[in-house]
Structure formats: structure tokens, C-alpha cells
Chains A and B, each alone.
Chain A
């Protein structure tokens, strides 16, 4: 009986986790955002071998995100997510032989998603040339992010303007939005 309860509880947890992830990653450019939600603009520049997958840790227990199918160069994803702080946590290598991953949670690369905004805090720069020569950085390239958003999703960019949520203010993005 106890074991059945455990199984049901585990399945319920798994279901909740999956549904939370699915909800977080739904891209609904024309929909109105739900209360307490915002758009998260994720940007990854991949140099060398693209990562297989990148994980982000969300503000709640089941609000983790993952992005995959990354290519060399710039990669963008727009995700509707509950507001709060999202940390880049793990980068998985594309090596078939191993399931190597890099723990980057301690690097403190995060995005604060704000309600009714499209939040951006920087490009994650992934340099994976070899096991010895792998590096990650986080840099503000808001002019590139703005250009991408304007070109791909004008509706979102108008209704939920791009906002920079990095550690220091970025007056240039305000200038772009004013133009």
C-alpha cells in the first residue's frame, strides 16, 4: 500500500514537473500573457561545438527550463514563463561518448523575468573547442537581442517591450526602443 502511494506520489510529481516545463516553454506570440508571467528572451552564442542542451534553474521547484537544438553562432528562444529569477545552471556537451556537462550555476548568470515584459540580461557565450578549452561568459548584447526580437516577433516587441534586467542599467536599449 505504502509502495503504491509512493508510486502515485512520484507520478504526480513527475506530471507536475513536466506540465510546468511544457507551460514554461510554450511560445505564444499572439496570446496575452497570463497574470504573473513574462517573456524570457534567451540568447546563446555558440563558438566551437554547440552544446547539446542548456538547463536553467527557475524561481520555483518545478520551473526549470531547457533549451536544445543549438547551432553555431547566435541562438534565440522566447519563452513564456512565470516571473522570477532564472539561472543558467548546466551546459551539456554534444559528445556522444560521454554525457559530460559543466555546472555553471555558481557563475551567477541570471535573468530576472518581469511581468508583462520581454526580459533579457545577456548572451550566454559558450566556447567549446575541446575538453581543455571550454569557457562560458555572459555578455550584454542587447542591440542584437533587440534586432532579433523586432525582426522575429514584432507583436511581442510592441506589446511586451524588451527590458534589460542585468546588474547595471543599459540606457542604450532605452534609446533603441525610443527610436
Chain B
């Protein structure tokens, strides 16, 4: 080995050691560790009760995998029902008092249903029997009035088929024969409503960006008949039959600005009554009661907070009592046993991802059941307030400002976080780990619901048409200037960050208003509008048509789209840029990242890049949150001239909660 080679190897070794040490330091940094605390998943989820309210089940997340747990209220015992070391269980449904159907997805993304039968002797769980039921299928209806029966939907190549399975029968495959397909001769609908006996009565399809079609069949001897064909972009979502099976309850904004709960007469094919209207807000969804014969509540968002309007006496009474007793407006009855013995309530708000409570209506007793992320109480998280601003054309814009706990002592630096979409998506003041990660590090976070956002009616959505880089960004700026004007944040320390459309908006906002923003960060952001049309070969004609209508037509408006695309405007950038991308993103292809990086380098702009090799559009791995957010914090601190990060601590770490090992175990 000559001297040169030896020197080369030495240099390589030193550089490689330095690189590994930098990587290790990064992973050991306070912020990286803090990201791990904030972004880790909930400990408990999918809490449910069997129909008679004697058993409670939930999924408990473990360091590796998860397990399905059973709390026996009669025996006061907790047991492991099923160990799921690979984390394949997505969801489960109680079918009757001793039968559960479990929905799993394996590593090849194949869904399957399996049956778990529980055998009890003197109220004690004696044995568990498990068997596979059907692949590529989901549960559609638990048919609460039919013991051992469940309505399932199996996805085949071109169509999905529904079956009414008898779970007490030994032979399941025999029940999947052609003649048992409930929708064998029906139109190719995506969603179905059945009557209480499990017979299909309504089928509907609401493909993205296409008109909703609804079919009805009065009984099994009659043919399916089209009863509704909606306008494009209008909502018509069948929810439930009325008692006589001749009227439908639907969520619709047909011929009105906001989505309301309406009564639709099937014979005359017309709306006959308004069942619920929330003035100024869209009704976002409705939840059926456990008997599936009535509506438990309708959900909407007011001042950024999720609200539920109860349409069930017990739910309404209990929710109001719990709000009063626990002194919070943010506790809700979310489920109950079929006989209403056990009611499940959830307390959740902008600072708390959720605490589940069990309420025993026979004993009139409330128990705190599960704090889903107990470790968060060691940090001081931020409160969120709704802000109103007037945009350049006078349109009123609602935004949510989350302030760090120390905002009274120090005027907080601001991170503006526009949401993705931009059409028919919205921000809310609900718990969001992305926001609370930043707030717990001392940043204020502003999330504007610019024009095009959902929840504010159809006209507001239409106002967002072809406003990329134009009035939408005016709306965002109006919110930023408003919070600065009100003295709520430090107007000299403002950066903007978002993902997808939010990433595009961050880049465009920095180009448009360099005096307002000190830096901009884009994750999986669109950088060239025209590129969106050539990157979606699988997009249907209807999606392309919608995109041309709402974003612009690259064949007719090429110059206009280029004028509002960051890659053609990079020369104007005056502030540092952070650009991050998931390499496997199918929505915003990595070409957007490459193009932007090319022009930033070409114009010698200050920029930092992060390519996450296994990441998609959003986040599929916890590691990516830690990686991205620790780098983002570094970037913001550097360009906002902030001191080293220190999470705002509340109190020492909680003691470890009791786990199933502390109780008896079957396995």
C-alpha cells in the first residue's frame, strides 16, 4: 500500500466516523427524543362492549405489535384475548355476546375476516376458538337483531359482493356461492343499506368528483330502481330508513349551501323535511346507535372544535351530565352496548388525544377507563383559539392559533401551517401531534382555513377554484397579519411550513411575501402545477376534468400555471428553504422535489434537503416523524435565531400504568 492510498483510507475513515457520529448525535438530540414522545401512537384504541354490556374489549399497543384485551365486568378480570405480534388487526366487531369478527390486514395488504368465539363457564372465560372466515372482505353491518349473523362485503377484481353470513354454521365457504351474493343482480354500487333483517334495500355510489347515484329496491321480488342522480360536487349520502322503509334520511347540500340532514321520500324522489340544520356549518357525519335503527349524533365543527348534536335522548342527557360533572365542553358519548347498560364516553380536545370513560347506567357510575397517551401529561401543550381575518377581497377567513404555554412570558415565534388539499379539506382545533410538537417547543402555530376548505358551505369551496398561489395565499397572509396585528405572536419571527398543497403554499408564500416570512419548509409539496397532470396516468377522466376545473387546464392555461408554480419562480426566493420528500410518494411524485432542488441549486439559493427513502405521501413510519421534525426544528431555530430547543415540561414522568400482566392471563 503506498502512502497516498493509506492517506486516502485514513481520510475516508475519519469522514465516515464523523458522519456516523453526526447521525448518532442527531438521533440522541433532545428534539429527536421529544418527537418520539409526541408522535408515538396511542396506547389503547377500538374500545367496544358486547351487546349485553358485560364485556369490554380494546386493543392495546405494545412495543412490538399489539393485543386484543378483554375486561370482564362481571368477574372484574382482565385477560388477553389475542396476541397480535405483527400488528395485523385493524378493527373488530361484536356480533353477539360471545362472538367477535376481527378484520386484519397482512403485510401484502390483503384484508381478511376471522371469527373469535368465546366460551364462558359461570361467567368466566374458559376457551377461545378462532377460525378464518373470508379474505378481501370487511364487515358492513353487525345485524344486531339477528344472532350469529353478519353482513360482509368481499372485494373481487371488478365488483364487490355482499353476503349475509351465518357464523354458527360450520361451513363458511358454502355460504359464498354465487346464489348467496346479495347484490348479484344489483347495480355496481359501492355502499349499501340493509333493512333490519339484513336484506339490501339501497345501494349507492359516490365516486370522487362524479355524481352520486342511488338505487332502491322495495323488496327482494322487485327490480332495483335509480332514485337519485346528483349533481357533480353535491353531497347526497343515504344514512337510514325511517320506520316504514319508504323514506330515507340523507345528508345532502342539494339546492342549499350547507350539508343538512334531510328526509327524502323514495316514491316522489323529493326532499320532504329538514331533520337537522346547523346554521353556518356543514354536518360532517352521523353516527348510528348500536341498534342501527336511529341516529345517535350528527357531527360538525364549530370554532375548530368537534361538536356533536345528539338525536338520542340518553346520549344527549348523558353528554350534558358528563360535561357538567367533568367541567369540560369536550366530552362525548361515542358508543354504548346494545342494551344501553354500558356507555362509552370520550374526552378529547386540542391538548388531549383522548381519555375513554365507561359509564354504567344501571349503577350510575363513571369510571376513567383509558388515557390513550398518558405520557403527554409530562409536557405543557398549547391552547388553541379561533381567529377571524378579512382577506384581500373581504372574504372572512377562520384560522386556529395554538399558543405555547409560555406565551405570556415570551412573545412566541410563529409557524404558519397551511393544510393540504386545498379543496374540501380543513384544519380544526382538535388534537394534532404536528401542532403540539411545535407548541411544546415554544412555537405558536397558525392554521388557516382558506377558501376551498370544507365545513363552510359549498360557496366557500367554490371560491377556492383556480386560486393556487392567488386568493388562497391572500387568505393565509390575512390570517398571519391578523395575529401579528393583535400582538399574539412575534411578527419578526415567522416561518411557513406545510405538506402537499401546504408545502406548495409555503414555497409560494415565501416567493410572494419575503418580508413576512423568514423561512419556508415544504414536505411532499407540489412545486410544478403542470406536472400533476402527467404524473397520474391511472387517474380517471373525471378526476382530470375536476382538476382542470378546480386547478387549471395545462393545455389552455400553461402560462398561467407556470406563473404560479414555484419551480419557475425560484429566482425570486429570498429566504432559506427546507425541502423534504418521501421517495415512494404516489400522489406528489419525487420529480416535484428534484425539479425544485435543481432550480434552487441553479440559482444558488440557501436550501436544505431531506429525502425519506421509504416514505409515501404523508407518514407511514414513526421514524420519519422523528427525522423530519427534528430537522425542521433545527431549520426554524437557525433562521428565526432562536436558542437551543427545550421542551416545555409540566411535571415528572408518570408512573407506569398497570398492564395486562398485572392481571390473570389465559395464554
Residues from 595 to 653 in B contacting A, C-beta threshold 8 Å: 595, 598, 602
Q: Distance in Å from the Cβ of B550 to the closest Cβ of chain A?
A: 16
Chain A interface size range: 20 to 34
B173 close to A (CB within 8 Å): no
Residues of chain B within 8 A of A61, CB atoms compared: none
Contact A171 B530 (CB under 8 A): yes
Expressed in whole angstroms, the Cα–Cα distance for A160 and B276 within the complex equals 66
- Expressed in whole angstroms, the minimum distance between the Cβ of B90 and any Cβ of chain A is 17
| Complex: A137 Cα to B93 Cα, angstroms | 36
Complex interface: chain A residues within 8 A of B531 (CB): 140, 170, 172
- Residue B130 CB within 8 A of the other chain: no
> Which of A107, A143, A176: most chain B Cβ within 10 A?
A143
Residue A175 is within 8 A (CB to CB) of chain B in the complex: yes
Residues of A within 8 A of B589 (CB): 139-141
- Mark interface residues in A132-156 (1 if CB within 8 Å of B CB, else 0): 1100011111111000000000000
Q: Which stretch, A18-26, A31-39, A77-85, A161-169, touches the partner chain B?
A: A161-169
Cβ-defined contact, B554 with A130, below 8 A: no
Could you tell me if B568 and A139 are in contact, using CB atoms closer than 8 angstroms?
no
Q: Determine the residue in chain B with the shortest Cβ distance to A167.
A: B534
In whole Å, how far is B48's beta carbon from the nearest beta carbon of chain A? Answer: 30
Contact of B108 among A47, A109, A130, A169 (CB under 8 A): A130
- Find chain B residues with CB under 8 A from A179 CB: 602
Give the distance to chain A from B595, nearest Cβ to Cβ, in Å: 5
Interface residues of B in 92-125 (CB under 8 A from A): 108-110
B538 interface contact, C-beta 8 A: yes
Contact A139 B595 (CB under 8 A): no
Q: Across the interface, which residues of B come within 8 angstroms of A122, CB to CB?
A: 534, 537
- Nearest-neighbour CB distance to chain A for B298, whole angstroms, equals 38
Which residue of B is nearest A176, CB measured? B598
Q: Give the residue name and chain of the A residue nearest to B597 (CB).
A: A143
Tell me whether A108 is interfacial, beta carbon within 8 Å.
yes
A144 to chain B, nearest CB (A): 6
- Evaluate whether A137 and B537 lie within 8 angstroms (CB atoms) in the complex, with A143-B598, A168-B554 already known: yes
- Measured in the bound complex, the distance between the Cα atoms of B535 and A125 in whole Å is 11
Of all chain A residues, the one with the shortest Cβ separation from B136 is A132
Report how many A-B pairs have Cβ atoms within 8 Å: 70
Set A107, A133, A139, A175: member contacting B535, Cβ < 8 A: A139
Report the bound CA distance from A168 to B532 in whole Å.
10
Instruction: Collect the chain A residues with CB atoms within 8 Å of residue B567's CB.
Output: 172, 175
Contacts of A140 in B (CB 8 A): 531, 534-535, 589, 591
- Closest chain-B Cβ to A67's Cβ sits at a distance in Å of 19
How far is the CB of A85 from the nearest CB of chain B, in Å? 15
Chain B residue numbers with a CB within 8 Å of A164 are 534
CA distance A133 to B567 in the complex (A): 34
Question: Given the complex, which residues of B lie within 8 Å of A141, measured CB to CB?
Answer: 589-591, 594
Taking CB as reference atom, which chain B residue is nearest A109? B537
A129 sits at the interface (CB 8 A): yes
Query: Which A residues are closer than 8 A to B by beta carbons?
Result: 47, 107-109, 122, 129-130, 132-133, 137-144, 164, 166-172, 175-176, 179
Further 18 A-B residue pairs, CB within 8 A, beyond A129-B108, A137-B538, A141-B589 = A108-B537, A122-B534, A132-B109, A137-B537, A139-B536, A139-B589, A140-B534, A142-B591, A143-B594, A168-B554, A169-B530, A169-B554, A170-B534, A172-B528, A172-B568, A172-B595, A175-B567, A175-B568
A–B pairs, 28, beta carbons within 8 Å: A122-B537, A132-B110, A133-B109, A137-B538, A139-B535, A139-B589, A140-B534, A140-B589, A141-B589, A141-B591, A143-B591, A143-B598, A166-B534, A167-B533, A167-B534, A168-B533, A168-B534, A168-B555, A169-B530, A170-B530, A170-B531, A170-B534, A171-B530, A171-B558, A172-B530, A172-B567, A175-B567, A176-B598
Interface of B toward A, CB cutoff 8 Å: 108-110, 528, 530-531, 533-538, 554-555, 558, 562, 567-568, 584, 586, 589-591, 594-595, 598, 602
